Chain A
C-alpha cells in the first residue's frame, strides 16, 4: 500500500471530520432476498395445511386429549424412558468391554455394536416381536442340569411392550456404546496415569476420574439420542407396541380421519421434543459452566 492511498483526506491537518462519523456498513441485498423467499415458502406450506378443506382441524382438537391417545402417549414416554435407561447402562458396559485388554471381550463388544448398529430398527423390532416363532420357552437355570429358576412360554413374557423396550434397548445401546467409548477415549492418558500413581485401581479410576470427565463429552450427544429414541418409538407400531402412533392409527381405522389422527400424534411428538430440547439446552449450559 502506498502512503498516499492509505491517507484519508484532511488527515494531516489535525482531527479529520471523518473521525467523527460512523462508517457505512456493506449492504447485503442477497441475504434480504433469500430471507423473503424463505418466509414465502414457509407461509405457503403452513397455509396449505391450515386452509386445506380436506383436513378438519376441529377433529384434531377433539382427539388431542382422547383417553386412548393419552394412554398411547404415556406408553411412548415410558418406553422412551425405559429404553433410554437400559441403553445407557448397556452402552457403558459394552464400551468398557470394547476397551478391555482381553481381545475376546473386546471382539465380542465390537460384534455386538456391529450387529445392533447395523440392523435397521424396524427389522430388529419385528425379530424381537416374533421371537415366539422360533423360541418356545424362556428358561433361566443351570445349563445341562434340571435346575430351573424360571421357565415360561415366550408369548406370555414377551408382550408387545416388552418386545418394544428390548428392541429399542438393543439398538440404542449399540449406538450409544460408541458415544460412551468416544467420551472415555477423550480423557487423556495422563489422567489415568496420575490416578494410578496415587494408588487407585482401574475400577476406581474409571468410576471417579474418567467417567465424571467423560460425561461432559457424552451428555450432549446423548440428548440427541434421547430425542431419536422418542421418535424411534413410533416404529414399534409395526409390532403393535401400543405407543402413540399405534393408538392414533387404531382410531383412524374406525373413524377414517387418517390425516387428522396423524396430526394429533405429530402435535404430541413436537410437544415432548420441545420439552426435551429445552432440558438439553439447560443441561448443556450447566455442564459448560463447570
Chain B
C-alpha cells in the first residue's frame, strides 16, 4: 500500500480547533477540539445523530463549518489567511486540498459506469494528470493489496458489498492521501462481509496510515484504535485508549451507550 511506515510520533496530522456547526437552527457541533497525530488511528463512536459523521466530513471540507479551524498536515482546510482574515478557498484550490485526504463512505459510492480498475485509476488521471498507464499499474497494485486483482475488470454491480467497499478503499488510496477518513464503512454490509473490510483497514493502520474512523464496530475499535473518542449531542464526552474508554467509561452517557452496544 502507499503509506510508508512511519514512527508514531507526536506530529499532528489533523488538528481540529474549536469548531462549531449548525444546520439552520439546529446546532450539531459545539466547540470541538481534536488532534490526531501522524500514524494514529482514531475511532469516533457515539449514538446516531451525535455529530460524529459531520465532524468527519468537516476534515475534508465536505461540510462548511460556522466557526473554528481544521488543519491537515499543518495547512488550513477550506480557507486561506489573507491580510489577517480567513477567506474561503476558490473551488479548484479546495479540490486540490481534498486530494490529501481520502474518504470512504458508508454506501461505497463507487462510480457504477466504470470498472473497478477505472474507479481506482480515475482520479489520479483526471485530477492529478498522472500518466494513464502508470495510474493503471498503480491501481492494479492497490486492487491486489485489497485482494481484488481478479475483479479489476468488473463493474461495481457485479461485486459484493464487501468487495465494493474494498475497491472504494483502493480508490481513496490511489490519490496517496495523508489521512484516510472512514464514515461507517461496514454499516451497510451483510454481517459475513464485515470482516474482509476490517482486515484491509487493520492492515492500513499497521502500515502507519493516519486514520479517523466513524464506526459501530467495537471489536475493531478495541483492537486497532490508538484512541477512542466518544461523542454525544455534538460534543466530545470522553476520549482515551480503547481499553479505558470501552472498558471503564467514566461518564454516564458513554456508559449507557456502551452497555447498549456491547450487550
Stretch from A154-162, A196-204, A220-228, A238-246 that touches the partner: A196-204
Closest to A207 in B: B126
Given A190-B107, A193-B105, residue A200 in contact with residue B95 (CB < 8 A)? yes
Interface positions, chain B 73-127, Cβ under 8 Å from A, are 91-92, 95-99, 101-103, 105, 107, 109-113, 122-123, 126-127
Closest to A213 in B: B113
Instruction: Tell me whether B91 and A198 are in contact (CB under 8 A).
Output: no
| A208 and B121 alpha carbons, distance in the complex (Å) | 13
Interface presence of B175 (CB below 8 A): yes
| A190 and B175 alpha carbons, distance in the complex (Å) | 19
Interface positions, chain A 157-189, Cβ under 8 Å from B, are 188
Interface residues as binary, B48-77 with A (CB distance below 8 Å gives 1, 0 otherwise): 000000000000101000000000000000
Nearest-Cβ distance from residue B248 to partner chain A, whole angstroms: 36
Given A198-B123, A198-B171, A199-B99, residue A191 in contact with residue B92 (CB < 8 A)? no
Interface positions, chain B 118-168, Cβ under 8 Å from A, are 122-123, 126-128, 155, 168
Closest to B174 in A: A198
| A199 and B96 alpha carbons, distance in the complex (Å) | 6
| A196 and B105 alpha carbons, distance in the complex (Å) | 12
Nearest-Cβ distance from residue B114 to partner chain A, whole angstroms: 9
| A193 and B97 alpha carbons, distance in the complex (Å) | 15
Interface residues as binary, A272-290 with B (CB distance below 8 Å gives 1, 0 otherwise): 0000000000000000001
Interface presence of A209 (CB below 8 A): yes
Instruction: Tell me whether B62 and A197 are in contact (CB under 8 A).
Output: yes
Question: Which residues on B sit within 8 Å (CB–CB) of A216?
Answer: 113
Question: Which residues on B sit within 8 Å (CB–CB) of A200?
Answer: 95, 123, 126-127
Nearest-Cβ distance from residue A42 to partner chain B, whole angstroms: 43
Question: Which residues on B sit within 8 Å (CB–CB) of A195?
Answer: 111
Instruction: Tell me whether B91 and A202 are in contact (CB under 8 A).
Output: yes
Choose one: A190, A199, A213, A290; the contact of B109 (CB below 8 Å): A190
Q: How many A-B residue pairs have CB under 8 A?
A: 64
Nearest-Cβ distance from residue B121 to partner chain A, whole angstroms: 11
Instruction: Tell me whether A193 and B95 are in contact (CB under 8 A).
Output: no
Question: Which residues on B sit within 8 Å (CB–CB) of A93?
Answer: none
| A198 and B128 alpha carbons, distance in the complex (Å) | 10
Question: Which residues on B sit within 8 Å (CB–CB) of A204?
Answer: 126-127
Question: Which residues on A sit within 8 Å (CB–CB) of B110?
Answer: 194
Instruction: Tell me whether B91 and A193 are in contact (CB under 8 A).
Output: no
Choose one: A188, A193, A212, A290; the contact of B62 (CB below 8 Å): A193
Nearest-Cβ distance from residue A102 to partner chain B, whole angstroms: 14
| A193 and B108 alpha carbons, distance in the complex (Å) | 11
Given A201-B95, A202-B91, A208-B126, residue A196 in contact with residue B111 (CB < 8 A)? no
Given A196-B62, A212-B113, residue A201 in contact with residue B175 (CB < 8 A)? no
Question: Which residues on B sit within 8 Å (CB–CB) of A199?
Answer: 95-99, 123, 127-128, 175
Nearest-Cβ distance from residue A209 to partner chain B, whole angstroms: 6
Instruction: Tell me whether B60 and A197 are in contact (CB under 8 A).
Output: yes
Instruction: Tell me whether A198 and B127 are in contact (CB under 8 A).
Output: yes
Interface positions, chain A 72-119, Cβ under 8 Å from B, are none
Given A190-B105, A194-B105, A199-B123, residue A290 in contact with residue B95 (CB < 8 A)? no
Nearest-Cβ distance from residue A111 to partner chain B, whole angstroms: 27
Closest to B110 in A: A194
| A198 and B180 alpha carbons, distance in the complex (Å) | 12
Instruction: Tell me whether B112 and A213 are in contact (CB under 8 A).
Output: yes
| A209 and B113 alpha carbons, distance in the complex (Å) | 8
| A199 and B127 alpha carbons, distance in the complex (Å) | 7
Nearest-Cβ distance from residue A263 to partner chain B, whole angstroms: 46
| A290 and B112 alpha carbons, distance in the complex (Å) | 10
Instruction: Tell me whether A196 and B126 are in contact (CB under 8 A).
Output: no
Max chain B C-beta neighbours (<10 A), residue from A188, A193, A197: A197
Instruction: Tell me whether A201 and B105 are in contact (CB under 8 A).
Output: no
Question: Which residues on B sit within 8 Å (CB–CB) of A201?
Answer: 91-92, 95
Choose one: B92, B98, B112, B113; the contact of A198 (CB below 8 Å): B98
Closest to B102 in A: A197
Choose one: A198, A208, A209, A213; the contact of B99 (CB below 8 Å): A198
Footprint of B on A, CB under 8 Å? Answer: 188, 190-191, 193-202, 204, 208-209, 212-213, 216, 290
- For the A-B complex with A195-B111, A200-B127 known, give 6 more contacts whose Cβ atoms are closer than 8 Å: A188-B109, A193-B105, A194-B103, A200-B95, A213-B113, A290-B155
Could you jot down 16 A-B contacts, CB within 8 Å? Answer: A188-B109, A191-B109, A194-B110, A194-B168, A197-B98, A197-B101, A197-B172, A198-B99, A198-B127, A198-B171, A198-B172, A201-B91, A201-B92, A204-B127, A208-B122, A290-B155
